Amino acid sequence: MIAGHWSVVVAGGRIAGATAAWALAPYAESVLVVDASQATSFWPQQSTWDREGNLLWQDLGLLEAVLACGAPRTYGHTLRVDDDVAEYEYPQQDGHSYRMTVPREVLDPALLRVAESRGNVTVARPARVTDITSRGGRVRGVTVRQGGADHQVSCDLLVLADGRLSHNADRLGAEPYRVVPSPWVALLAYFADLPLRPDRGYFSSQPGSLAISTPCGPGQWCVSTDMHQRLIDESGGHPARLFARITAEDPHIGPAVKVGRQVSRLGGAGKLRMQRRPMSGPGWCLVGDAGYHLDPVTARGTKSALVAARILRDRIAEIGGIDGTLLDGTLLDGLTEQRDAELEEDWVVAAELCQPAPVAS
Ligand SMILES: Cc1cc2nc3c(=O)[nH]c(=O)nc-3n(C[C@H](O)[C@H](O)[C@H](O)COP(=O)(O)OP(=O)(O)OC[C@H]3O[C@@H](n4cnc5c(N)ncnc54)[C@H](O)[C@@H]3O)c2cc1C
């Protein structure tokens, strides 16, 4: 039964939403996660992180669940820039010094399962938050549409984790206050049985494009490209054709994909824009892409989602848990500044890559 009162309602149940539900559950009586997607949908967005990400997963108490997804750890990568090739080994500071990529079809359900294992977390899926109710200057609840019926739900805290196109953030009036349009089109597909090492990644930076192969499961690799819009325009073809050409011509990825098997369709996104919205207001909070969207070209979206979830959890812990009276007023103030300070470097690196720059043809 969805209708009624919940301490926390989380809209969106992928990386940011499932992580926030897990992290907030110990401080709440009940948590409802509402996710619009189908359990079986293919999600052409990657999830990659490095040592910093491993430390965040650990801080959130989720590292074990993430490692159980079975993705190999990578301890170095080959970097090809034009025709120069260099090998990099990651400094071994501690047991967390590796990179990892987990397909979203594996990671997101695992995170949602572990959130549900808290006992006080309920998942409604597929279901959608279609409206937000406010009273006395603060959010009081939402309308959830499931199976063609609308349910009125009240809550002490609404967490929006419904992705970069969050209409609910618009409904709240959480307008983006920093926006950087991106010239990159990101595409990816999964492959099996590539004759590549399972403990190393590969990055190739060529004029107007970046190609990456990274192990992401037993005998499985994610092959992705970021292509500058100008390169696509100059090539006169469809981005999918350019993806095929870039990967086929690459001296490392080309021979591998020729003998391997493509096991997913090709998918991705273009015409994106990086944006920051305020992280919180009276009775609401934004986590993940909904509040802070970094262009995928730097592969830091996962980190941004985890940082926001951790900041929110720490504030809720500090104020002693989630309760309607406590969350009134200014108790969630200052989260935006905290998040922006922690992610400033990630923003700058991604924004620099999105600046209009001449692309050699
Ligand atoms: C092509 C591509 C490649 C990428 N590569 C990387 C990478 O290598 N590394 C990395 O870290 N990041 C990468 N990213 C970024 C990363 O995927 C995102 O940062 C991350 O998915 C954000 O997670 P999220 O949970 O905030 O949002 P999402 O993953 O977008 O999930 C939002 C969820 O909310 C649901 N939803 C939407 N509206 C509603 C509603 N009204 N009610 C209820 N539910 C709703 C959606 O159905 C969805 O399930 C990539 C992105 C793209 C597009």
Tokens standing for residue 31: 């948590």
CA 233 to centroid of ligand 1, rounded, Å: 27
Pair 110, 253: CB distance under 8 Å: no
Tokens standing for residue 325: 């009276």
* Other C-beta atoms lying within 10 Å of the C-beta of residue 360: 9
Mean pLDDT of 193-203: 96
Q: Which domains does the chain have, with CATH numbers?
A: 4-47+103-179+272-354 (3.50.50.60), 183-269 (3.30.9.100)
CA 45 to centroid of ligand 1, rounded, Å: 7
CA 301 to centroid of ligand 1, rounded, Å: 8
pTM, two decimals, is: 0.96
- Distance (Å, whole) CA 50 – CA 278: 26
pLDDT per residue over 244-267, tens digit each?
999 999 999 999 999 999 999 999
Which one of 33, 34, 41, 47 would you pick to mutate in the ligand 1 pocket, going by the greatest count of ligand atoms within 8 A of its CB?
Answer: 47
Question: Is the pLDDT score of 360 beyond 80?
Answer: no
Measured by CA distance, the residue closest to atom 18 of ligand 1 is 301
Nearest ligand 1 atom, CA 35: 44
Measured by CA distance, the residue closest to atom 26 of ligand 1 is 288
- Distance (Å, whole) CA 81 – CA 210: 9
pLDDT per residue over 12-53, tens digit each?
999 999 999 999 999 999 999 999 998 888 888 889 999 999
Top pLDDT among 11 and 329 is at: 11
pLDDT of residue 263: 96
Nearest ligand 1 atom, CA 53: 11
Average predicted confidence (pLDDT) for the chain: 95
Which one of 35, 45, 155 would you pick to mutate in the ligand 1 pocket, going by the greatest count of ligand atoms within 8 A of its CB?
Answer: 45
pLDDT per residue over 118-136, tens digit each?
999 999 999 999 999 999 8
Mean pLDDT of 286-314: 97
In a 10 Å sphere around its CB, with 0-12 CB exposed, 13-18 middle and 19+ buried, how is residue 104 labelled?
Answer: middle
pLDDT per residue over 146-171, tens digit each?
999 999 999 999 999 999 999 999 99
Nearest ligand 1 atom, CA 14: 25
Measured by CA distance, the residue closest to atom 12 of ligand 1 is 301
CA 16 to centroid of ligand 1, rounded, Å: 8
Pocket of ligand 1 from Cβ distances under 6 Å: 11-17, 34-37, 44-48, 128-129, 161-163, 168, 186, 188, 268-269, 288-290, 296, 299-302, 305
Question: Is the pLDDT score of 361 beyond 50?
Answer: no
Q: Which residue has the tokens 């189908």?
A: 38
pLDDT of residue 195: 97
Measured by CA distance, the residue closest to atom 29 of ligand 1 is 14
> Where do the H-state alpha helices sit in the chain?
15-24, 51-59, 63-67, 104-116, 167-172, 229-235, 239-249, 253-259, 301-318, 335-354
pLDDT per residue over 50-96, tens digit each?
999 999 999 999 999 999 999 999 999 999 999 999 999 999 999 99
Nearest ligand 1 atom, CA 34: 43
